Amino acid sequence: MKIGYVRVSTQEQNTIRQEVMMKDLGVDELYIDKASGKNMNRSELKKMMDYVRQGDTVIVESISRFARNTRDLLELVEQLAEKNVEFVSRKEAIDTTTPSGKFMLTIFGAVAELEREYILQRQQEGIAIAKQQGKYRGRKPIECPDLSRVIERWKAGEMTAREAMRRLNMKPTTFYRKVKAAK
For helices 172-182 and 161-168, what crossing angle results, to 10°?
Answer: 100
Q: What is the DSSP string of 140-163?
A: PPPP-TTHHHHHHHHHTTSS-HHH
Report the C-alpha gap between 6 and 17 in whole angstroms: 10
Q: Which of 10-14, 90-94, 109-113 has the lowest mean pLDDT?
A: 109-113
Q: Is 148 a catalytic residue?
A: no
Q: Note the pLDDT tens digit of each residue in 125-168.
A: 999 999 999 888 777 777 788 899 999 999 999 999 999 999 99
Number of residues in the chain: 183
Catalytic residue of the set 9, 36, 43, 64: 9
pTM for the whole structure: 0.60
CATH of domain 2-117: 3.40.50.1390
